[in-house]
Structure 1
Amino acid sequence: MDLSSAKWKKSTRSGTSGGDCVEVADNLRDVVAVRDSKDPAGPVLTFAPQTWRSFLEFAKQS
C-alpha cells in the first residue's frame, strides 16, 4: 500500500513528553492509517473509514 501521500496527525491527547502516542492519516482514499509516533518507519495498521469511525465512537463512550 502506498502511504507516501499520508498526512500524519498526532493525537490531540498526546503529551509533549514523547510518551506513547499514535498518529493517524485520514486523508487517504478508502483507508485510515494508524502508526506509532515513536516508530514512523515501523508497521502501519489500516482500517476502512467506517470501521475507524465506529472505533472512535466506541472510544468516546468509554
Structure 2
Amino acid sequence: MHDPDASYRLISDNARRLAEEHARLREAAAVRSKHSRTGLLAHYLRRLADQIDPGGQTRRTL
C-alpha cells in the first residue's frame, strides 16, 4: 500500500536540500562578486599609480 507520509517526507526533504543548495550558491556568488570588485579596484589603483609614478621609485620608498 502507498504511504502518503513517505511521499510527503521525500518531497519536503528534496525541497529542503534544494533550498540549502541555493543558499550556498547565493553565498558563493556574493563572495565572487566581492572579490571581483576588489580586484577591479586594485587593478585601477595600480594603473593610476603607474600613470603618476611610472618607475615606481617613490612607491618603493614608502
Higher helix share: 2
TM-score by structure 1 length? 0.26
The structure with the larger Rg is: 2
After TM superposition, the score normalised by the length of structure 2 is 0.26
Higher relative contact order, structure no. (Cα contacts within 8 Å, ≥ 6 residues apart):
1
